[in-house]
């Protein structure tokens, strides 16, 4: 308000103010486009993933991905999700087929060999918030007060073998919060510039990479667990997914002073630490 | 002063949000376990902090995000140990539930865990023994141990052959005798965070999961 008074004067007609106000309005409009979107993993997504999706974890595994449309995701979204996941598991050595009802994705060949694992994915929206009052306050304060929109979602994953036996299930839940406004954007921009480490920065598109890393990591881990459980329950009728490169990547340097692991076999590897996650996972 | 009011309002609002932001770092936010629950449930759990539903209903659908901080900080322990220990109650509970259904009540349980970190293995074994005892079983603290020669042979075998053979040797060498039952929990691959388990009764090994 003080800026307007100085520019326009108390008695100046509105029309005369416009040329002098224009740069200010342009600056405001430019800055107001600055949104800050943050991602918060809620359930299961923040669990550490030990598997490294960059490695050949599923060599020769026949995987059928079923991305089922729901009220929250239409067949187009489901198709995009499935295509991204195909890339994820292709890169890890699996032979992936897709099934997306009501989409252009061709149905899997029924005469082809049956899949080893079937992964069913459905999405749900648990909560969404977009208050008109907040938007009104946001614009009334020249976007100093941010308008906050948020969405909480759940990605339900069910893993079965080819006979329909349940091998695992989980619900990966997360939350995206978007703050629209000059105030919030400016404060975070400054904090990113001056205070925060790169891994803690909020402006930019870091949230996409973080979500992709969490989601792909957890999904790879779930499929790996299901595969191992399947092998154990079938009394190891197929070779173990024993990629020496992947095992090596998942294991730390051996500590010569570490106590010997007691007894039975089954440990052809030293104690683990988390492997580095891929730097540029495919974006969802 | 007028400009400070929206900023104060903004900071106050941010302080209660568990999402990363001005007052919450990403690391701190990741260390929370959060669940979204309905207002009615939230009021039942936290009556002083969450108001009850209005008697005539509400125009908006209100719910609560309930968060609790994890006991350990990120990076305090290796990733796999963290996952295994965080989910220990559920994973061990599932294993003992399965074991409980397959073995008669008269059995005396012996438990051992084959996990690379000895401290974690001990915690898992203790958790399983406690759970079995709570289910009304007799549980022994003794861990059956085979002769070094047996272990040397078993260590070279695949899990498919090693565990059934070890089970047979336990009974043949009288390390375990008839009323005894053995519960083994293990991981088989460095990339796993999910425990497998099997039971050994009368010299026969059976995989549980």
Total domains in chain B come to 2
Cα A141 to Cα B41: distance, rounded to the nearest angstrom: 35
> Phi and psi at residue A80, in whole multiples of 5°?
-60, -45
**Which among A94, A95, A63, A99 is positioned nearest to A81, based on CA atoms?**
A99
Based on the fold, state whether residues B111 and B39 are members of the same structural domain: no
Average pLDDT, chain A: 76
**What is the complex's ipTM, to 2 decimals?**
0.87
Give me the residue from A141, A224, A246 closest to B6, CB to CB: A141
On whether both B63 and B156 belong to a single domain, the answer is: no
User: In whole angstroms, what is the distance from residue A47 CA to residue B177 CA?
Assistant: 41
Q: How confident is the model at residue A260 (pLDDT cuts 50, 70, 90)?
A: very low
User: Over 70: is that where the pLDDT of A246 sits?
Assistant: no
B146 contact residues in A (CB cutoff 8 A): 263
Is residue B201 one of the residues assigned to a domain?
A: yes
Q: Which one of A44-48, A99-103, A158-162, A186-190 scores highest in mean pLDDT?
A: A158-162
Per-residue pLDDT tens over the stretch B125-134: 999 999 999 9
CA angle B180, B184, B190 (to 5 degrees): 170
Answer yes or no: do B65 and B83 share one domain: no
Residue B65, beta-bridge partner list: B36
Measured distance CA(B169)–CA(B147) in Å, rounded: 10
Calculate the CA A9 to chain-centre distance: 52
* pLDDT for position A27: 54
Window from A215-224, B43-52, B195-204 with minimum mean pLDDT = B43-52
Reported as type and span, the H/E element at residue A122 is strand A117-130
- Separation in Å, CA A174 to CA A14, A171, A279, B133, B201: 47, 10, 21, 38, 44
Q: Which of residues 42-81 of B touch A (CB under 8 A)?
A: 63, 65, 78-80
DSSP B2-46: TTHHHHHHHHHHHHT--SSSSSS-HHHHHTEEEEEEEHHHHHHH-
Are B202 and B157 within one domain? Answer: yes
Residues 6+ apart with CB under 8 A from B189: A224, A228, A240, A241, A242, A247, A269
pLDDT digits (tens, 9 = 90+) for A7-26: 333 333 333 344 455 565 55
pLDDT above 50 (res A191): yes
Size of interface A-B (CB pairs under 8 A): 182
Is pLDDT at A253 greater than 50 in this prediction? no
Q: Residues B111, B192: one domain?
A: yes
Taking an 8 Å cut-off on Cβ atoms, the answer to whether A261 and B26 are in contact is no
Tokens for A110, please give them: 């029924």
Residue A1: how many other CB atoms lie within 10 Å: 8
Whether the CB of B203 is below 8 Å from some CB of chain A: the reply is no
Place of tokens 């154990």: A232
Q: Is residue B85 located within the same domain as residue B140?
A: yes
The pLDDT > 70 percentage for chain A reads 71
- In this structure, is residue B100 part of a structural domain? yes
Label residue A9 left, alpha or beta by phi (over 0 means left) and psi (-120 to 50 means alpha): left
Note whether B8 contacts A: Cβ–Cβ < 8 A.
no
pLDDT per position as a tens digit, B19-78: 888 888 888 888 888 888 888 899 999 888 888 888 887 777 778 888 888 888 878 899
In terms of domains, do B52 and B104 share one?
no
Asked if B162 contacts B129 with a C-beta cutoff of 8 angstroms, the reply is no
pLDDT of residue A268: 30
Report the distance separating Cα B112 and Cα B117, nearest Å. 13
Q: What angle do CA A238, A266, A219 make, to 5 degrees?
A: 60
B145 interface with A at CB cutoff 8 Å: yes
Question: What's residue A107's pLDDT?
Answer: 77
Q: Check whether B110 has a pLDDT greater than 50.
A: yes
User: φ and ψ at B110, to 5 degrees?
Assistant: -120, 135
How confident is the model at residue B88, as a pLDDT? 93
Q: Tokens 């949230």 correspond to what residue?
A: A207
Residue B3 near chain A (CB below 8 Å): yes
B116 and B53 both lie in a single domain: no
Residues of B with CB below 8 A from A229's CB? 194, 196, 209
Shared-domain flag, residues B106 and B129: yes
Least Cα separation, residue A96 to chain B (angstroms): 21
The pLDDT of residue A130 is 87
Percent of chain B with pLDDT over 90: 42
Ranges A3-12, A247-256, B105-114, most confident: B105-114
- Whether residue B155 and residue A265 make contact (CB cut-off 8 A), yes or no, is yes
CATH number of B120's domain: 3.40.50
| Pick among 3.30.160, 2.60.40, 3.90.930, 3.40.50: CATH of A38-250 | 3.30.160
How far apart, in whole angstroms, are the C-alpha atoms of residue B82 and residue B56? Answer: 46
Name residues whose C-beta falls within 8 Å of residue A267's C-beta, 6 or more positions apart in sequence. A261, B114, B116
Distance from CA of B133 to the nearest CA of A (A): 24
> The domain containing residue B21 runs over which residues?
4-69
B12 touches chain A (CB under 8 A): no
Q: How far apart are CA B109 and CA B130, in angstroms?
A: 11
Facing residue for B18 by CB, picked from A40, A43, A191? A40
Does a structural domain hold residue B129? yes
Note whether A44 and A214 are within 8 A (CB): no
Q: Is the domain of B122 the same as that of B63?
A: no
Mean pLDDT for chain B? 87
What is the C-alpha separation between A105 and A97, in angstroms, rounded? 10
- B27 shares contact with chain A (CB less than 8 Å): yes
Tokens of B61: 């659908």
Domain boundaries, chain A: 1-32, 38-250
Q: Which segment, A104-118, A141-155, A177-191, B84-98, is predicted with the most confidence on average?
A: B84-98
Q: Which residues of B touch A210 (CB under 8 A)?
A: 26
- Same domain for B108 and B197? yes
Question: What are the residues facing A117 on neighbouring strands?
Answer: A63, A161
Residue of chain A whose alpha carbon sits nearest to that of B79: A274
Tokens of A92: 């890890």
Q: How many CB atoms lie within 10 A of CB B172?
A: 11
Provide the CB-side half-sphere exposure for A24 (13 A, CA). Answer: 14
């Amino acid at each position: 308000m003080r800026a307007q008074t100085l520019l326009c004067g108390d008695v100046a007609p509105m029309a005369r103010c416009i040329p002098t106000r224009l740069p200010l309005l342009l600056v405001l409009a430019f800055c107001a486009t600055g949104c800050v979107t943050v991602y918060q993993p809620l359930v299961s997504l923040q669990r550490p993933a030990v598997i490294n999706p960059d490695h050949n974890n599923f060599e020769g595994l026949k995987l059928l991905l079923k991305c089922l449309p729901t009220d929250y995701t239409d067949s187009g979204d489901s198709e995009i999700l499935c295509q991204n996941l195909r890339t994820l598991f292709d890169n890890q050595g699996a032979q992936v087929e897709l099934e997306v009802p009501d989409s252009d994705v061709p149905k899997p060949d029924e005469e082809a060999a049956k899949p080893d694992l079937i992964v069913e994915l459905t999405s749900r929206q648990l909560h969404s918030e977009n208050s008109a009052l907040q938007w009104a306050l946001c614009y009334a304060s020249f976007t100093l007060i941010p308008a906050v929109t948020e969405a909480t979602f759940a990605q339900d994953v069910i893993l079965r073998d080819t006979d329909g036996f349940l091998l695992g299930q989980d619900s990966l839940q997360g939350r995206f919060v978007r703050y629209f406004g000059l105030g919030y954007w400016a404060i975070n921009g400054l904090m990113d510039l001056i205070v925060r480490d790169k891994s803690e920065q909020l402006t930019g598109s870091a949230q996409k990479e973080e979500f992709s890393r969490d989601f792909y990591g957890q999904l790879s881990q779930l499929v790996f667990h299901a595969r191992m459980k399947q092998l154990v329950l079938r009394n190891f009728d197929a070779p173990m997914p024993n990629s020496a490169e992947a095992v090596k990547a998942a294991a730390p340097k051996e500590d010569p002073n570490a106590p010997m692991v007691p007894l039975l076999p089954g440990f052809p590897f030293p104690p683990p630490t988390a492997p580095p996650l891929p730097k540029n996972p495919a974006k969802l | 002063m007028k400009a400070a009011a929206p900023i104060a309002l903004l900071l106050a609002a941010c302080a209660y949000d568990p999402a990363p932001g001005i007052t919450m770092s990403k690391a701190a936010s990741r260390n929370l376990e959060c669940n979204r629950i309905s207002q009615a449930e939230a009021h039942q759990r936290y009556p002083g902090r969450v108001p009850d539903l209005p008697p005539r209903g509400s125009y908006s659908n209100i719910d609560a995000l309930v968060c609790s901080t994890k006991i350990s900080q990120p990076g305090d322990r290796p990733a796999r140990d963290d996952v295994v220990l965080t989910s220990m109650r559920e994973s061990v509970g599932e294993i003992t539930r399965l074991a409980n259904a397959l073995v008669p009540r008269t059995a005396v349980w012996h438990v051992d865990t084959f996990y690379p970190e000895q401290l974690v293995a001990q915690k898992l074994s203790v958790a399983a023994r406690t759970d079995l005892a709570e289910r009304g079983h007799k549980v022994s603290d003794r861990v059956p141990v085979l002769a070094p020669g047996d272990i040397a042979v078993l260590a070279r075998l695949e899990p498919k052959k090693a565990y059934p053979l070890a089970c047979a040797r336990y009974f043949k060498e009288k390390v375990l005798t008839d009323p005894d039952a053995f519960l083994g929990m293990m991981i088989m691959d460095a990339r796993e965070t999910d425990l497998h388990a099997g039971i050994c009764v009368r010299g026969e090994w059976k995989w549980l999961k």
